[in-house]
Amino acid sequence: MEINLMEKIVSLCKRRGFIFPSSQIYGGINGFWDFGPLGVLLKNNIKELWWREMVLKNDNIYGLDSTIIHNPKVWQASGHTTFFTDPLRECKKCHQRFRADKLTKTQCPECNGELTAVKQFNLMFATHVGPTQDSANSAYLRPETCQGIFINFRSVVDTFHPKMPFGIAQIGKGFRNEITTGNFIFRDREFEMMELEYFVRPGEDENEFENWKEKRLNWHLKLGIKKEKLRFCEHPKESLAHYSKRTVDIEYHYPFGWSELEGIANRTDFDLKNHAKHSKQNLFYKDDEGKEFYPFVIEPSVGVERLTLAILADAYYEDSQRICLRLKPILAPYKIAVFPLLANKPELKTKAREIYETLKKNFSVIWDDIGNIGKRYRRQDEIGTPWCVTYDFESIENNTVTVRDRDSMKQVRIEIGKLVDYFSKEIYE
């Protein structure tokens, strides 16, 4: 039944313009997805809410937008050229490749053929910078955004002189040449990450780690994700990434089971120390007493696509009458749909259009005058529009419109002049 839910979400996303397979006219490309007109609205809302929560709300957190390609020495210093690998086994018969740690049998799951021994496969996409293609010009597409933060640490400290603790946050593309992709947008080869590096005094790291765990879980709850679908999962010591002292995932119960939504890692002083060593630059933080030290780093890191999938799965609702995305209004691609009761009555259409134009100055709004009102409601329910405003014959008499609520399907009459206030309160409550 849950698998069925996944199919329904994929189909809704395609049918209504949320998410399309990338390069579809050429048969697609595995692990790449394009966000359509509605998908990009939803995704932008998610990113904006994260930015507001992490950067705008905090005096001590700074934003950054670094490049996707760094000097390749960055990835040597960070350990990625050696350690950013997944274990791989290949079928000797059909040559399909699998992530060894995800295999449940010792034979090929596709054709039962014999599998090779485990090899370590580096997940970074390599490319070349400039017109010659030799090893001296090779570079990588970043597999995580945080190295851009570490290599700008000195510049941010020197320009803003932040006091401990402080953070640097970034949203941007990441690329991983995953051995196997799948589960729709859950595991992609190109995706967006929202990452905070929070610099703290050594010794205060464990406390701060606990703070961020709670803060991040609460943020997901604030987005409207159901509490029972979220849980923490502690990484066992033996499976920690090479830089991590402790990692706790926030897992979501996706239609295919519990899986990582966000990772919170204690990266210690690993990255700053190694960049200082490899770059021979001073990356110490100097406090007011003149004491110099490498801060420890707490990193909450979440993928936009994984969060989008969790939000869609969580909001999906269906009964015999309709399909509905019960998105929090703040996340909905369109907050309001505006209709004239009848499309062929100019006295209704002109006025409805005026309301549409006014609301559009304040909110993301959609116009619809096709088909009957019931069909229009269904169409809006399916894309998660929280309210539908209809200008009808009574509107001509008393300057009110009906406002129909997506979840309760109840209708109330509201004065046209009060609509902006009404929706502002409802959306930003």
What is the rounded distance in angstroms from the CA atom of residue 248 to the CA atom of residue 260? 10
302 binds ligand ATP (CB under 6 A): yes
Q: Which is nearer to ligand ATP, 262 or 381 (CB)?
A: 262
Helix axes 2-15, 304-315, angle to 10 degrees: 110
Sequence-separated (6 or more) residues with CB below 8 Å from residue 325: 12, 312, 315, 316, 317, 332, 381, 382, 383, 384
Cβ burial, residue 93 (10 Å; 0-12/13-18/19+) = middle
Judged by CB under 6 A, the stretch of 212-220, 301-309, 358-366, 395-403 that binds ligand ATP is 301-309
Residues 251-290 that bind ligand ATP (CB under 6 A): 260-263
Residues 192-211 that bind ligand ATP (CB under 6 A): 193
Instruction: From 93, 100, 97, select the one nearest 118 (Cα to Cα).
Output: 100
Query: Residue of minimal CB distance from ligand ATP?
Result: 303
Instruction: From 386, 406, 383, select the one nearest 335 (Cα to Cα).
Output: 386
Q: How far is the CB of 287 from ligand ATP (least distance, A)?
A: 30
Instruction: Judge whether 156 and 43 are in contact, CB under 8 Å.
Output: no
Judged by CB under 6 A, the stretch of 90-98, 153-161, 204-212, 300-308 that binds ligand ATP is 300-308
148 binds ligand ATP (CB under 6 A): no
For every residue of 381-413, DSSP letters joined together read HHTT--EEEEE-HHHHHHSEEEEEETTT--EEE
Instruction: Judge whether 385 and 336 are in contact, CB under 8 Å.
Output: yes
Residues 70-89 that bind ligand ATP (CB under 6 A): none
299 binds ligand ATP (CB under 6 A): no
Q: Which is nearer to ligand ATP, 182 or 417 (CB)?
A: 182
Token digits of residue 126: 């390599």
306 binds ligand ATP (CB under 6 A): yes
Cβ burial, residue 3 (10 Å; 0-12/13-18/19+) = exposed
For every residue of 96-124, DSSP letters joined together read -EEEGGG--SSS-TTT-PPBPPPEEEE-P
100 binds ligand ATP (CB under 6 A): no
Pick one of 121, 191, 219, 254: the residue that binds ligand ATP (CB under 6 A).
Answer: 191
Q: Which is nearer to ligand ATP, 144 or 368 (CB)?
A: 144
Judged by CB under 6 A, the stretch of 187-195, 281-289, 378-386, 388-396 that binds ligand ATP is 187-195
Amino acid at 144: E
188 binds ligand ATP (CB under 6 A): yes
Q: Which is nearer to ligand ATP, 302 or 383 (CB)?
A: 302
Q: Which is nearer to ligand ATP, 239 or 282 (CB)?
A: 239
Q: Which is nearer to ligand ATP, 157 or 261 (CB)?
A: 261
Number of residues that bind ligand ATP (CB under 6 A): 15
Instruction: Judge whether 322 and 376 are in contact, CB under 8 Å.
Output: no
301 binds ligand ATP (CB under 6 A): yes
What is the rounded distance in angstroms from the CA atom of residue 223 to the CA atom of residue 358? 27
Q: How far is the CB of 265 from ligand ATP (least distance, A)?
A: 7
Binding site for ligand ATP (CB under 6 A): 176, 178, 187-188, 191, 193, 260-263, 301-303, 305-306
